[in-house]
Every structure is written in structure tokens, then in C-alpha cells.
Amino acid sequence: MNESPRTFQRLLVDRSACAGHGLCYSRAPELLDCDEQGDPVVVPDELAAEHLNAAEAVVQSCPEQALSVESRVFQE
Ligand code: SF4
């Protein structure tokens, strides 16, 4: 039996635009961590409802416009 499609949001980092200064993971450690080079790594595969506002805030705070929130449709 087919389930209805499910929409979810996830946070994305555009590595070609990122300057790697770490503002995002210092402001939103629940959403972003850093790797050994100091580059940001998104923590959750998908954004929980309680993290959507924080995700939008950190997207707005990135001076390089390297972060975005993407909506995906997932068919189970
Ligand atoms: S704030 Fe933006 S430019 Fe700076 S490390 Fe995070 S994603 Fe990269």
C-alpha cells in the first residue's frame, strides 16, 4: 500500500559560497557542527518543527548567503 508523500525541510550548505568563518555553527550548534578544517557540517538530516525558526535565522545570518532551507517531498 502506498503512503502519502511527506514533505520535509533540510538545511543545506553551499560549500562554494562558504567562507568558513564559523558564524553559523557558533550561533546554531543544534543545527551545524564543524569538520576538521573548520567547515560547517549540517547535523540533522531533516529539520524538526521546533528547529525551523532557528534554521531560518541562521540562513539570514550567513554573510555569504551560503545557507538555505530546502523542501523535499519523500514518497515512503
Ligand atoms: S556563516 Fe556562512 S559563510 Fe560562515 S561558515 Fe557558516 S555557512 Fe560558511
Whole-number Å distance between alpha carbons of 39 and 5: 33
pLDDT tens per residue across span 24-61: 999 999 999 999 999 999 998 999 999 999 999 999 99
The domain defined by 16-74 folds into Alpha-Beta Plaits (3.30.70)
pLDDT of res. 74: 84
Whole-number Å distance between alpha carbons of 22 and 38: 7
pTM, two decimal places = 0.89
Whole-number Å distance between alpha carbons of 22 and 9: 22
Pocket lining: 43 vs ligand 1, CB cutoff 6 Å: no
Determine the distance separating the centroid of ligand 1 and the alpha carbon of 4, expressed in angstroms.
35
Pocket lining: 58 vs ligand 1, CB cutoff 6 Å: no
- Which residues have a Cβ under 8 Å from the Cβ of 64 and sit 6 or more positions away? 17, 18, 19
Report which ligand 1 atom has the smallest distance to the Cα of 38. Answer: 5
Cβ burial, residue 62 (10 Å; 0-12/13-18/19+): buried
Q: Where are the domains of the chain?
A: 16-74
List the grid coordinates of 73: 517531498
Determine the distance separating the centroid of ligand 1 and the alpha carbon of 66, expressed in angstroms.
6
